[in-house]
Amino acid sequence: MASRSSSESARRAGMSSTGRTVVPSDRTRKAMAKRLAARTSAMTTATLAQMTQRHSWFRALSADDRSWISIVARNGIDGFVRWFADDEAEPYSPTDVFDVAPRSMTRKISLHQTVDLVRTTIEVVEEQIEEKMPRGDRSVLSNAIAHYSREVAFAAAEVYARAAEQRGTWDERLEALVVDAIVRDDVDDEQLTSRASTLGWKPGSKLCVVVGAVGSSRALHGLRRAAEHAHLSVLAAVQSDRMVAVISGAALSDDASAVGAAEPLAEHFGEGPVVVGPVVGDLTGAPGSARSALSAARAAVAWPEGPRLIASADVIPERVLAGDRQAVEWLVAEVFTPLNEATGDLMDTCVSFLDHGGSVEGTGRAMYIHPNTVRYRLKKIQDVTGYSPTDPREAYLLRLAVTLGRLRG
């Protein structure tokens, strides 16, 4: 469960409490330790019998895992003898109890279950002391096992704390690899999904990518806590001067809802715009959302008047002018083509309205139609494209869409 304890930690454990604390006389203590050692095999057998009887989680373990538990229990009982004997030539630390098991056991056996193991072992040893040891040894050994159990409890906490720290460091590295793979789109879907699943990511969840400047040194920690409070799953990493987060949750249904879901996270990014990429169906579509968000983050500098938290589609005009081919394709396919294929002279009305500076009357005179007909067509243009010619920002986008679409023939 942990790496071999250093001699320094052993000395510290010895200074805190040892058998010498209970029985100062070396001769008396070693004689009692010898009598105690004769009972260790019986104590181990009794401990495993009690573990099987008392704890369903122990019975559910594989034979291999139960074998490791038995080795730990035996090591703990043998360790009590060594701890009590307190031979200065062989210093002993209670942390050594867990050194015999592989490090992966901290994932299979929880700290709570380890406490069950320690408690059951101590209770069995106490019973064996009262029933099997000479009367003159019982009081002293009962006092000694109470001291030892406290040391082992502290050791267990140390082992799991160290394992959690190491696991946290590994998870952060794996998370950074997953985010980097999404940003660069250079890993196969199966590998990406597998790595994310290791981090607890649920497959098949709608998600989007959020990009912004790096905030404080604790930005990632704050972002994860905010995502947890907002009931969002998040994979996040710092890349150079930007922070990239992949978020998922029940609140994400479309691009507008994604911006709303990302609002609690925005404060943990640095200064400048925070861009939310389009919502995609699952993790395999995440690179596309990342491309849109990163492109929009670069182009947003050309629209400083815009809001701090924006959707990548809100920066389509700037992305197009910056040479983003994905934005060009989207604008032609999603805006120009529906408008060009619509009936009712919507294309001509849109162009005339833009050419006349947004004047309904001027458009009507130029096209020889009533102003109310112009208003009706403007409403139809918004229905078809999702953008209104009467809004200056959206009119800018429509003009670009018409120009690019005509250039494409």
Would you list the DSSP string of 9-76? HHHHHHHH--HHHH---HHHHHHHHHHHHTTHHHHHHHHHHHHHHH-HHHHTS-HHHHHHHHHHHHHH
Is 208 in a helix, a strand, or coil? strand
Beta pairing partners, 276: 210, 311
Please state the separation of Cα 322 from the chain's center in Å.
34
Phi, psi of 383, deg, nearest 5: -65, -40
* Per-residue pLDDT at 14: 40
pLDDT tens-digit map of 377-401: 999 999 999 999 999 999 999 999 9
CA distance 35 to 32: 5
Lowest mean pLDDT among 84-88, 205-209, 224-228, 353-357: 84-88
Count CB atoms within 10 A of the CB of residue 11: 12
What DSSP designation does 409 have?
A: -
Alpha-carbon span 39 to 44, nearest angstrom: 9
For residue 180 the two structure tokens come to: 């980097």
The 10 Å Cβ neighbour count of residue 342 is 17
Average pLDDT, integer, range 255-275: 92
Q: What is the pLDDT of residue 13?
A: 39
Residue linked to tokens 């990406």? 192
Average pLDDT of the chain is 85
Q: Name the CATH topology of 191-315.
A: Alpha-Beta Plaits (3.30.70)
> 64-89 burial by CB neighbour count: b if 16+ within 10 A, else e?
ebbebbeebbbbbbbbbbbbbbbeee
Query: Measured between alpha carbons, how far is residue 219 from residues 77, 181, 267, 275 in Å?
Result: 46, 21, 9, 16
pLDDT tens for each residue of 109-143: 777 788 888 888 889 889 888 888 888 888 888 88
CA–CA gap between residue 404 and residue 396 (Å, rounded):
12
**Mean local confidence (pLDDT), 397-407:** 95
Sign of the four-CA dihedral 192, 256, 313, 300: negative
Residues 14, 91: contact at Cβ < 8 Å? yes
> 325-407 falls under which CATH superfamily?
PucR C-terminal helix-turn-helix domain (1.10.10.2840)
Q: What is the pLDDT of residue 6?
A: 40
- Residue 379 confidence (pLDDT): 96
pLDDT value, residue 2: 42
The residue whose two tokens read 């015999």 is 100
What the block records as the tokens of 212 is 């912004």
So what's the pLDDT on residue 383? 95
